[in-house]
Amino acid sequence: MTFAPPNHSRTLDPQPGMPAWIRGARSDSLEDVAFSSGAALSQLHLVLGCEDVPQALLRDRLALRAAEACVAFSGRPERAAELRDAVHLLRPGDLPGPAGEMYLAWRRAVERPVSVKALARALPHVEASLIASWLDAGRGPPVTRVAMVLEAVWAEAPRADVPALVLADAALAQALGWTHVVPLVAAGLTRADLRKRGEELRMACHRALLASAAEALRLSADLSRRVAHLKAVAPRLRARGAGEAVEMFLIRDAVAPAALPLPDRAARRLCDRLVELGAVRELTGRDTFRLYGV
């Protein structure tokens, strides 16, 4: 199964949803599950070619889901809120901690087009030659490649779950002609799946991609609506630097006021104004150290 690269000049309906016959697929047959996951990836492929979908923002939010899954696999307690704090409230000289490092790896993995160099930047503790070797281990149809890359990494580095899962998504992107890593594999797997090999692992990957593609479609529709509203209210913002600030919200899962290109007080006022306009949400529920996102 191969797809042509997405044509980002197309304007498609970004809210097609997952057909019921795909969502409701239940089978113990590898052939049937493979057919369903292929259909789900085909639906997602169309959305990734739609210019109305905020692609960078979608990838960044999926990176958070993938990081949350990896943190859970490691037995750590941090979830999405703590991961956002660990990365977006990081001050110069601070260390993000183990969970924050996982999140940073995923964020860096989705930022740049897929390449060994970009993946080495995301996984600084893994040699580029090893990344290239593991990616080359994948052969055959896309999901088979995913499983083969996972097995190749775990054979040499049994505890390297984050590199294995990042490279699995990179192999999927390369197989499907996607320009960037789209985090799908990790969030759909269970901890028990990480111990599977051979046909059992391929079955787990198909099921993971079926579930994650459905979630990515739902998320893309939600983000498309929210981004359209943000763009609609943007002309009403009068603060200097507001345009650059809006651009940051269009590509980042979460933004701290301190990260915006405005003085501190002006940045906080802008965020409050965007919340008032229903264009962004305050994500923490706190009175201080707040984070905002579409």
Distance CA 34, CA 141 (A): 10
Tokens for 225, please give them: 């609506």
Looking at residue 25, what is its pLDDT? 56
| DSSP at 258 | G
Looking at residue 15, what is its pLDDT? 47
* Residue ranges for the chain with pLDDT beneath 70: 1-17, 21, 23-27
| Confidence (pTM) | 0.92
Distance CA 155, CA 148 (A): 10
Distance CA 69, CA 49 (A): 26
Distance CA 270, CA 264 (A): 10
Looking at residue 269, what is its pLDDT? 96
Angle, CA 115 vertex, CA 112 and CA 118 arms, to 5°: 50
Domain 237-293 has CATH 1.10.10: yes
Looking at residue 29, what is its pLDDT? 86
Distance CA 166, CA 109 (A): 7
CA terminus-to-terminus distance, the chain? 34
